[in-house]
Amino acid sequence: MENMPNVKVVMARCSGNNKSFGIRLEEVTAGNWLADWAFDIKDQQARKEGYHENVVAGEFDFATNYPGCPHCGRDSLVRCICETVFCWDGDHRKVKCPACGRKGRIGTAISRLKTDIDR
């Protein structure tokens, strides 16, 4: 019997329009996660699927076919101190969180993703 992959979906927000989207992550080796898909989803549906409870920790990378944010196409991610994950253009070092409004500079690499869709 073939082993099923360890896959989780975490929620994110578009930095352009604040709409939610899901990011599919697959654990390719222990503690190494690959984002390979992003899709539009409403907060109510994400709660129903349990996506708002997912926590993923380790190292993260993007598959070559990762489509980016389904709303604006940005293909990088940032995590705010409020734990909201949002899309980023990969260039500008100053960002503003679409959920809590905090402004800041890009810091260290993300090592943990937790979803909070109630912001």
Which pLDDT tens digit goes with each residue over 15-59? 999 999 999 999 999 999 999 999 999 999 999 999 988 888 899
Provide mean pLDDT across the span 77-102. Answer: 91
Two tokens, residue 72: 């604006």
pLDDT at 1: 55
pLDDT at 3: 80
Half-sphere exposure for 77 (CA within 13 Å, toward CB): 28
User: Per-residue confidence at 81, pLDDT binned at 50, 70, 90?
Assistant: confident
Provide mean pLDDT across the span 105-110. Answer: 75
pLDDT at 75: 92
